Chain A
Amino acid sequence: MKNTEYAIKVDDLTVAYDYKPVLWDIDLAVPKGVLMAIVGPNGAGKSTLIKTILGIIKPIAGTVAVFGKPYKKNRKIIAYVPQKGSVDWDFPTTVFDVVLMGTYGQLGWIRRPGTRERKIAFKAMERVGMSAYRNRQISQLSGGQQQRVFLARALAQEAEIYIMDEPLQGVDATTEIAIINILKELRKAGKTVIVVHHDLQTVLEYFDWVTFLNVKKIATGPIKDIFNDENLTKTYGINYKVALNP
């Protein structure tokens, strides 16, 4: 495959906070149109990997390419859904306002959101089932609703690539299904979705591509081919056959 057919291509990526590397020599090629899970134990560098791809963390070495171009040139086609615990939900703003923030990137400096942007935000809220809450103060949302708001904000970016940090962490069953359905819709529309995921039980059911990560990249590829005991054991360091099938 040629470079440009990869939605995201990471080469020789190494990241360290203090002395110990958090990510070591990661090579990763994510084909366009996949729904990919990144799995690995706590401290494996999952969040660090996506934050480095997004330019939030500066790597010690390595490059990130988005559709064959450097990240900085193509950042507007990536939408990021952070962990919902990363912000203060007591901030004085409404659901609609947060979703509208998704359009800020396209607007550029100084320009303000207008009718077009508001329409996009409305549509995004509708997709995640939050229209009825549009004027709700965000401190009054449940965990699942907060996650939907963040997802709607990303949808409002009308991006090609969606990168999400544990969107299913601590949400109720209804929200989980709603989110997964949207992810599948996105894939159907040809978008690329990368999700940091914690629940190994549901990986097979939700995703079609997977990356095993534990500081180093253990494996990456179609889920049918590589989601097996060998890779699980290599990543988590215990025999997962036993752990998954008691």
Chain B
Amino acid sequence: MTEYFSLFWTDYTVRTITLGTAVLGALSGMLGSFAVLRKESLLGDAISHAALPGIAIAFLITGTKDMGILLLGAIVSGLTGAFLIRKIVTRTHLKTDTALGLILSVFFGFGMLLLTYIQKIPDSNQAGLDSYLFGQAATLVEDDVKLMSLITAISFFVLILFWKEFKILLFDPEYSHTIGIHTRFIDSLITFFIVIAIVIGLQTVGVVLMSALLLAPAAAARQWTNRLIGMVFLSGIFGAFSGVIGTAISATENNIPTGPVIVLIAGIFVLFSFLFSPRGFIVKQLNYYKNRKKLKRIKTLQLMYDIASTHENIEHPHSVKILNNFQGYSKRVLSALEDEGWITLQNGNWSLTPRGFNKITTYLSTEKNDTATN
């Protein structure tokens, strides 16, 4: 890591690439939240694959490898792919997954065909065009980063401007229509944004892996927050860090491709969030066992209470043996109840303490209230 930091300050290329991947990660993270919430995660994958023929055609027409022009081609063919998917779903009996699979593979196949053709053209400066498959961060130059930053800034501004409209459309499209939100405009804006976010990352991460950078930060962010603004914000942060850490690793090790490393780092964010977030696996399991343990104790205490209340003196001792047929009962539960001070144990007999009596009676009455309010 220290090696990377010294590189960052001294090496112009490393600094450019770092800034580029950070901006890219932030942008695709933010906009990826929308794709995830619209349940259009796979649409991102289809669009990124569908962008490939656009890049090839743009190159064939203009003969340059200028990022802006190639990306324009990518946007056009990506949008065409997205449009065709919509049409297939609404006009035929095919379902979304089939439409996505079809468009993804047909466009990608066509793109590969064009790439092969371009390689065979004598002395065209085609070298490097196939880096759009898996991306090559090393090809990022300052102008690229400037363009990416500009697009990110514009997206951010539009996001803030139409925040309310985005939110309501994502949550409830039909309702938004009835209150006068221009749903088709906002909807197109979201789709356009998703396409932009994908296309902007093609040079760095490549058509094959780009959808991961779109979805992974959003999936991770969703685990930590219950608010849309939090999700978009966190997702941007996770994306940016994936970019920076990925670049740092690939810059200090020889011959490690940047794109795949960035995607892997984003994947680690997801894994970490699934495990350790408040909605995550570990907290859930812990709560599950804690609840079960608590309920077991309470149920045992309740049984004891039922037995004890047949006597006038609730502290009257009873034999442990009478609990034997009860499901929740075990030696461990019994000693836990004693530790809490709810019962006392003596010579194979148990007796309810006043504290235990209070505990179970208040529990039973609050539980009744809880079910009544639901």
Residues facing B in A186-238 (CB within 8 A) are none
Q: Is the CB of B164 within 8 A of A55?
A: no
CA–CA, A112 and B161, complex, Å: 9
Give the shortest distance, in Å, between A146 (CB) and chain B (any CB).
12
Question: Chain B, interface size: which category?
Answer: 20 to 34
Instruction: Number of A interface residues at 8 Å Cβ cutoff, please give it.
Output: 34
B227 on the interface (CB 8 Å rule)? Answer: yes
Q: Given A92-B222, A104-B164, A105-B180 in contact, is the A86-B227 Cβ separation under 8 Å?
A: no
The complex places the Cα of A107 from the Cα of B180 at a distance, in Å, of 10
C-alpha spacing A137/B228, complex, angstroms: 11
Chain A min CB distance to B222 (Å): 7
Instruction: Tell me if A51 counts as interface (CB < 8 A to partner B).
Output: yes
Q: Which chain B residue shows the least CB distance to A172?
A: B374
Q: Within 8 Å CB of B225, what residues of A?
A: 92
Chain A residues with Cβ under 8 A from B230's Cβ? 92
* Residues on A facing B (Cβ under 8 Å): 51, 54-56, 75-76, 78, 80, 82, 86-88, 91-94, 97-98, 101-102, 104-105, 107-110, 112-113, 137, 142, 144, 153, 157, 172
Q: Is B285 an interface residue (CB 8 A)?
A: no
Report if B170 contacts A (CB, 8 A).
yes
Q: In whole angstroms, how far apart are the Cα atoms of A162 and B180 in the complex?
A: 15
Can you report 24 A-B residue pairs in the complex whose CB atoms are below 8 A from each other?
Answer: A55-B177, A75-B180, A80-B174, A80-B178, A82-B172, A86-B174, A88-B171, A91-B37, A91-B171, A92-B222, A93-B167, A93-B226, A93-B227, A101-B172, A104-B179, A105-B179, A105-B181, A108-B180, A112-B163, A137-B226, A142-B374, A144-B374, A153-B175, A157-B179
A76, A86, A88, A92 — most chain B CB neighbours (10 Å)? A92
Interface of B is mostly: helix
| Cβ-closest chain B residue relative to A83 | B174
Expressed in whole angstroms, the Cα–Cα distance for A97 and B222 within the complex equals 17
Residue of B nearest to A144 (CB): B374
A82, A113, A137, A172: the one contacting B164 at CB < 8 Å is: A113
Do residues B178 and A75 form an inter-chain contact, with CB atoms below 8 A?
A: yes
Q: How far is the CA of A87 from the CA of B162 in the complex (A)?
A: 21
| A178 CA to B218 CA, complexed, in Å | 38
- The reply to whether A110 and B162 form a contact with Cβ atoms under 8 Å apart is yes
